[in-house]
């Protein structure tokens, strides 16, 4: 087996630890294997891969796409370190409005699987970081939505008090006013 799969406090969100094979040349690791992911309930087909680079203090998020273009994501930091946050948007569910955070880094090589129905964001805690994430739907701006990063009702414990944000990320509404068509146990 090439991966370890660990559910978080929100069981549908998984931390994935790839098996790393180091030697005198460096290392080798698989970052995705359809059969192993499917054996752990991750069956979506990834159709787009994104790569971003950000400096310390940058916060990107909290983003999601609504149905019918909702995305599952597989996120990893290839260099640097991020504080990665996922918020449950599935109305009627036991963890609606709850969030989890995971430190992802080029050093720990952990990945985070985020199913549909969740907002995602991260802030950079190292001098800079490069992030790769795969998505099960292509970017569709007409279905793009977000939640304000510092929504008082969510009370996310970000490691930065005053991060740098894009104007778009600064303008997202709090969760209670956000456009959201996710329902707990709904079929996508």
φ, ψ dihedrals at 37, nearest 5°? -65, -45
Among 1-10, 71-80, 149-158, name the one with the lowest average pLDDT. 1-10
In our burial notation (b when 16+ CB lie closer than 10 A, e otherwise), range 97-118 reads bebbbbebbeeebbbbbbbbbb
Q: Residue 135: CB partners within 8 Å, gap ≥ 6? A: 46, 47, 48, 49, 50, 71, 72, 73
Q: Is the pLDDT of residue 62 over 80?
A: yes
pLDDT given for residue 185 in this prediction: 83
Active site (annotated) includes residue 170: no
Beta bridge partners of 51: 132
Of the residues 63, 96, 143, 184, which is catalytic?
63
Identify which of 105, 149, 144 has the alpha carbon closest to the alpha carbon of residue 128: 105
pLDDT given for residue 103 in this prediction: 98
Per-residue tokens: 51: 């790569």
Entry field: residues in the chain: 188
Active site (annotated) includes residue 63: yes
**Average pLDDT of the chain?**
96
| Average pLDDT, integer, range 100-129 | 98
| Average pLDDT, integer, range 88-94 | 96
Domain boundaries, given as residue ranges, for the chain: 3-177
pLDDT given for residue 186 in this prediction: 57
Instruction: Could you please state the CATH topology (level 3) that the domain comprising 3-177 is classified under.
Output: Jelly Rolls (2.60.120)
Identify which of 152, 63, 169 has the alpha carbon closest to the alpha carbon of residue 114: 63
> pTM for this structure?
0.94
Of the residues 64, 83, 113, 133, which is catalytic?
133
């Amino acid at each position: 087996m090439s991966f370890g799969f660990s559910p978080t406090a929100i069981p549908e969100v998984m931390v994935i630890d790839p098996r790393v094979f180091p030697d005198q040349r460096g290392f080798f690791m698989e970052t995705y294997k359809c059969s192993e992911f499917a054996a752990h309930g991750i069956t979506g087909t990834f159709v787009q891969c994104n790569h971003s680079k950000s400096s310390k203090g940058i916060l990107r998020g909290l983003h999601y796409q609504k149905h019918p273009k909702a995305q599952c994501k597989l996120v990893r930091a290839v260099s640097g370190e991020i504080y990665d946050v996922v918020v449950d948007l599935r109305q009627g569910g036991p963890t609606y409005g709850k969030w989890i955070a995971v430190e992802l880094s080029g050093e720990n090589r952990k990945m985070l699987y985020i199913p549909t129905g969740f907002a995602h964001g991260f802030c950079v805690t190292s001098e800079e970081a490069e992030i790769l994430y795969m998505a099960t739907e292509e970017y569709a701006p007409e279905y793009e939505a977000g939640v304000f990063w510092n929504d008082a009702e969510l009370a996310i414990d970000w490691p930065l008090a005053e991060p740098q944000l894009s104007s778009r990320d600064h303008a997202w509404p709090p969760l209670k006013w956000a456009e959201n068509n996710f329902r707990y146990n709904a079929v996508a």
